[in-house]
């Protein structure tokens, strides 16, 4: 398997079983300086903030084709009044995301009704200690709880070539934190597309526009339930 096949958000099925236990290469995409807003709809709809890395940022996709705008379109088509704001930054680690969390939240015109947290893939690809990933995600969820903002997690799985010990420490992070903070969890965000090259970019890792729509279809019902619960709790 070519080393360059490892991207920041590589899926488990795209890792050859014969790979060595060597540390994975650095992410291929460069970290962008700031998230880009995705919603063009301005009204009094509740806001979902998509806070994550390239899977939320819309890596190499045209404007309007990334996960946040397509999720918003799907929810509105289903009769749910909502704005989904893209706060994804390609290349972000959990540490980098934690460092920009307060600034991101403080600069939202409207307090989010729900924050989707999708991070961890870049930590794994850099071979960062799972304990650090857990601590950073824990701190993100703690800050959201402190501010009274409901959260939802979209999880990641470790590449098996990193070894059984790493996998055993990394994979339980999301279920554990979801239980600790009592937040909804999508166990493995890339599950619907990870073995479907036709739904991936030429890098065979990130979703293409069709792949994004598949991810949206797979997750929109759970996001809708999480938003409904958040709005109910806020009353």
Positions marked catalytic: 54, 203, 206
Q: State phi, psi for 57 to the nearest 5 degrees.
A: -65, -20
Q: Residue 32 corresponds to which tokens in the numbers above? A: 């962008």
The conformational region for residue 2 under phi > 0 = left, psi -120 to 50 = alpha, else beta, is: beta
**Pairwise CA distance, residues 16 & 36, whole Å:** 34
Q: Are 163 and 21 in contact (CB under 8 A)?
A: yes
Give SS3 for 32: coil
Q: Which residues are CB-neighbours of 22 under 8 A, at least 6 positions away? A: 161
H or E stretch at 100: helix 94-106
Q: What angle do CA 88, 49, 98 make, to 5 degrees?
A: 55
CA–CA distances in Å: residue 159 to residues 10, 111, 115, 172: 8, 36, 26, 14
Token pair 């360059």: residue: 4
């Amino acid at each position: 398997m070519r080393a360059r096949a490892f991207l920041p958000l590589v899926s488990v099925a795209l890792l050859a079983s014969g790979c060595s236990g060597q540390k994975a290469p650095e992410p291929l995409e460069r970290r962008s300086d700031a998230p880009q807003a995705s919603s063009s709809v301005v009204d009094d709809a509740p806001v979902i903030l998509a806070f994550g890395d390239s899977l939320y940022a819309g890596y190499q996709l045209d404007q309007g084709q990334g996960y946040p705008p397509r999720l918003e379109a799907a929810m509105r088509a289903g009769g749910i009044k909502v704005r989904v704001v893209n706060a994804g930054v390609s290349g972000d680690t959990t540490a980098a995301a934690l460092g920009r969390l307060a600034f991101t939240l403080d600069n939202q015109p409207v307090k989010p009704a729900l924050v989707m947290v999708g991070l961890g893939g870049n930590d794994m690809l850099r071979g960062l200690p799972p304990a650090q990933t857990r601590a950073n995600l824990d701190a993100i969820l703690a800050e959201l709880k402190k501010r009274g903002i409901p959260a939802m997690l979209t999880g990641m799985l470790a590449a098996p070539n990193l070894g059984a010990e790493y996998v055993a420490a990394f994979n339980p992070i999301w279920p554990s934190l979801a239980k600790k903070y009592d937040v909804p969890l999508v166990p493995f965000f890339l599950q619907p597309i990870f073995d479907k090259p036709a739904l991936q970019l030429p890098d065979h890792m990130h979703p293409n526009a069709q792949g994004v729509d598949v991810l949206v279809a797979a997750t929109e019902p759970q996001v809708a339930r999480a938003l409904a619960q958040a709005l109910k709790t806020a009353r």
